[in-house]
Amino acid sequence: MNNNRPQTVYDLLLAAARPAPQVTAIRFVVDLDEVELSYSQTYEQLLSKLHKSVDMMRKLSGKSRPVVSLLLPNIPQAQVLLWAAETAGIANPLNPLLNDEALFQLMSKAQTDLVFALGPMYGNELWEKAIRVSSRLPNNPLCISVFSPAGEMHYDSEVHLYQNVHLAGDEAPAPSDIAAYYHTGGTTGTPKLACHTHANQTAAALAVMKSLQLSAKDIAINGLPIFHVAGAIVNSLAILGAGGQLVLPTVAGFRNPEVIRRHWRLIQDLGVTISSGIPTSMASMLDVPLEGADISSLRFLLSGGAPVPMKLHELALEKAERQLYQAYGMTECSGVIGLPNLAKTVVWGSVGHIAPPVEVRIDSGEICIRSPMVFPGYLGLDSPVTQDGWLKTGDLGYVDESGNLFITGRAKDLIIRSGHNIDPALIEGCLEQHPAVGMAAAVGMPDEYAGELPVAYVQLRAGAEISSEELLAYVMTHIAERPACPKKVIILEALPVTAVGKVYKPKLREDITDLLLEELFTRRIGPIGIKSRHTDSGRLVVDLWDIPLSEAEWCRNQLKRLNLQLEKLVFR
């Protein structure tokens, strides 16, 4: 340690447990109907299982620093295994929704030594997926079942057989050691592996602890997954590092609609002080009536992962009488860039306050950061970090005179209409001010003359009724920048989201391209097969089938005029 500040994740957890080892570290709500019977784990028990898990990982792998892949929901075992894997060697938490090929590529790149996966459960095929993928790897790593027993070894039944020994010297990790490989990217293609050092993650957790003024009195609900930095570091490690209590609401977390429906009651029953979630989850929570729940323990609400619509700030004050703060980060900086400034009133529209040790500069409109949280680079690839420590985020934005950071869009999400750059946030922000709209997302639709035309997709608030035409008329009267007015407003029951709840715009681009081509081709040649999709490199391509041979050249020409690439063509 340096100046009594922890420098590794292991040091941070040791320091947190030292003052009160018998207090509850993790509470797992197994059954929402029996919250009072929730499973709890003290800090002493957490460290004991962590030590035994470290011993288990090293002995089973035969390595002093094994790479451990985790295919687990956010349950107590996952928390222990994540921090144990970082202490023993390198943790590799993976998104269970990735397909077999993506998981195989990631584990191959990580050179996985052990796999811990959720055992068989009704409606869940994760264990079978783990077995299939591990069997393809050259070293055929052992798969260890967690929670539900399966396979050669069941973690829950056998971890007690290993040694609970405090680690010191070379047995313990160093600040510069790689702690984890976190994958970045969507649910298609093969994401990259971002390398986190212990120093990165510990600095991030300490920054969150300071910003949120966390203490051992805090009880925080975390329904996010461990493969996401917000779920693992911001909403888990920081709470545990402060000696607080981490509440895990069922195996499915915030993907369980009953957790959302009973959110306010959980706050009352468990004395929760901080509740957080990505904007889509927060919107659903705020749509649920309090029904008399006593939420006096709640200090504030916290959101991040995407810009928070102004409407959510209003709802937080109206429904819960609490401020909704926002945090901003990315995988490449351990989840921390901008954080709440509790000493000031929430600045609506800001994604967080910039404070030391984080530095921000704006380069041609793009947000660039430098801090101890910035990662060294991607595994096996050239580092995007400059020699003097700066990282481009890909987000567009600015910092005001008070240090509040604002995001105005993504560099790659800009809609370019006849050379005119349109920020999707302009359209989305306008629509989200309408009382019927819960969430909005704007994307570009291919156009022969303009290159792209803006279109908007919306998800209505619970119980709201309105037509696309009414929303289009609303936008036309509220957006002064005429080229930014969308050509269409399409209402969906739910916007497509990633596993962590971010709106997944590639799916919307595919959808609007399919709609455009279906309308264009049907007028001339009748019903045909059309499927737009993104390749692993992110390029939008089109597959066509059931095409009359006589119309093949016309179809090719139409796609060329729309600047779309034909990937596959099948004739009738």
My answer on whether 452 and 562 are in the same domain is no
Length of the chain: 572
Instruction: List the domain range (segments joined by +) for residue 435.
Output: 414-498
Q: Specify the higher pLDDT residue, 567 or 41.
A: 41
Average pLDDT of the segment spanning 33-55: 96
Q: pLDDT digits over 482-525, tens only? A: 888 999 999 999 999 876 677 889 999 999 999 999 999 999 99
Average pLDDT of the segment spanning 557-569: 88
My answer on whether 390 and 426 are in the same domain is no
Instruction: Classify residue 85 as exposed, middle or buried by CB count within 10 Å of its CB (0-12, 13-18, 19+).
Output: buried
Instruction: Classify residue 140 as exposed, middle or buried by CB count within 10 Å of its CB (0-12, 13-18, 19+).
Output: exposed
Q: pLDDT digits over 270-307, tens only? A: 999 999 998 878 988 999 999 999 999 999 999 987 77
Residue 3's pLDDT is 63
My answer on whether 367 and 437 are in the same domain is no
Last residue of a domain, one of 380, 407, 434: 407
CA 190 to chain centre: 16
Residue 189's pLDDT is 42
In a domain? residue 2 = no
My answer on whether 86 and 132 are in the same domain is yes
Average pLDDT of the segment spanning 215-243: 96
Cβ atoms 248, 469 nearer than 8 A = no
- As for how many domains the chain has, the answer is 3
What span, in angstroms and rounded, lies between the C-alpha atoms of 531 and 510? 8
Query: Residue 357, preceding bond cis, omega within 30 degrees?
Result: yes
Residue 349's pLDDT is 86
My answer on whether 384 and 427 are in the same domain is no
Q: pLDDT digits over 384-430, tens only? A: 999 999 999 988 889 999 999 998 777 778 788 876 778 888 899 89
In a domain? residue 265 = yes
Asked if pLDDT for residue 537 goes beyond 70, the answer is no
Q: Strands, DSSP E only, in 170-268?
A: 178-184, 192-197, 219-221, 245-249
My answer on whether 95 and 243 are in the same domain is yes
Cβ atoms 465, 436 nearer than 8 A = yes
45-49, 183-187, 555-559: least confident range: 183-187
With pLDDT > 90 as the criterion, what percentage of the chain qualifies?
78
Six token digits for residue 108: 């191959």
Q: β-strand 300-304 against 24-29: which pairing, if any? A: unpaired
CATH of the domain at 52: 3.40.50.12780
Asked if pLDDT for residue 188 goes beyond 60, the answer is no
**What mean pLDDT is reported for the chain?**
92
Residue 421's pLDDT is 75
My answer on whether 385 and 422 are in the same domain is no
My answer on whether 563 and 481 are in the same domain is no
CATH of the domain at 440: 3.30.300.30
CATH of the domain at 525: 3.30.300
My answer on whether 426 and 292 are in the same domain is no
What span, in angstroms and rounded, lies between the C-alpha atoms of 360 and 377? 19
My answer on whether 358 and 456 are in the same domain is no
Q: Output b/e per residue, 547-560; b: 16+ Cβ within 10 A.
A: beeebeeebeebbe
My answer on whether 277 and 303 are in the same domain is yes
Average pLDDT of the segment spanning 447-464: 90
Q: CA-CA distances (angstroms) from residue 256 to 31, 213, 248, 251, 263? A: 12, 29, 12, 8, 11
What span, in angstroms and rounded, lies between the C-alpha atoms of 13 and 17? 6
CA angle 529/535/540 to nearest 5° reads: 65
Cβ atoms 342, 211 nearer than 8 A = yes
Asked if pLDDT for residue 308 goes beyond 70, the answer is yes
Last residue of a domain, one of 378, 407, 436: 407
Q: Name 406's bridge partners.
A: 398
Residue 185's pLDDT is 60
Instruction: Classify residue 515 as exposed, middle or buried by CB count within 10 Å of its CB (0-12, 13-18, 19+).
Output: middle
My answer on whether 292 and 436 are in the same domain is no
What span, in angstroms and rounded, lies between the C-alpha atoms of 301 and 509? 32
Sheet with strand 404-410: strands edge to edge:
352-353, 404-410, 391-399, 366-370, 359-363
